[in-house]
């Protein structure tokens, strides 16, 4: 899972977040093309920004105000079996080198459905502090390694509740 795949959606997110959209929550189901399964979650209505599909990779990127969702479905990217823990370890081995990650904010946990990784990125732009909360749901399913990435820029308490609701309602089948 080359990090460049995530750089383009993240850059697009920063620019597209400047345009407001309504943000009432709704149940969203996104079918994964040619895979016979879907991802479901409760989140603000998403404006699709980009979607790409090939034989070995699917990517979806959508946002609503300062909230974004990026879904990547890939062939395994590292050695090891199809386990949620292997997806997490492979992803973190690469992503964990990002210098803007506040290492004190990193949290990892796994359950029978996915491994969750969360952290804050901290930076500044024009002398104004920017904090991005990132949460990843990483899982192996049907011989694919899957990465569902949600994030908020400068999250408020209400935004953190959106992240919590997303996690409580997130499923795939």
Per-residue pLDDT 10s for the chain (173 aa) are 444 444 444 444 444 443 333 346 789 999 999 899 999 999 999 999 999 998 789 999 999 989 999 999 999 989 888 999 999 999 999 999 999 999 999 999 999 999 999 999 999 989 999 999 999 999 999 999 999 999 999 999 999 999 999 999 999 99
**8 A C-beta contact, residue 21 and residue 64:** yes
CA 20 – CA 151 distance, rounded (Å) = 16
């Amino acid at each position: 899972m080359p990090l460049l795949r995530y750089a383009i959606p993240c850059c697009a997110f920063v620019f597209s977040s400047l345009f407001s959209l309504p943000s009432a929550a709704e149940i969203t189901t996104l079918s994964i093309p040619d895979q016979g399964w879907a991802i479901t979650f409760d989140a603000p209505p998403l404006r699709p920004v980009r979607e790409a599909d090939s034989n070995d990779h699917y990517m979806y990127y959508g946002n609503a105000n300062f909230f974004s969702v990026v879904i990547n479905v890939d062939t395994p990217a590292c050695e090891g079996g199809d386990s949620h823990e292997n997806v997490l370890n492979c992803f973190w081995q690469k992503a964990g080198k990002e210098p803007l990650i506040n290492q004190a904010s990193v949290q990892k946990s796994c359950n029978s459905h996915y491994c969750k990784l969360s952290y804050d990125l901290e930076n500044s732009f024009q002398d104004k502090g920017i904090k991005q909360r990132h949460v990843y749901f990483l899982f192996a399913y049907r011989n694919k390694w899957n990465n569902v990435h949600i994030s908020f820029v400068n999250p408020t308490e209400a935004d953190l509740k959106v992240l919590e609701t997303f996690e409580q309602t997130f499923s795939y089948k």
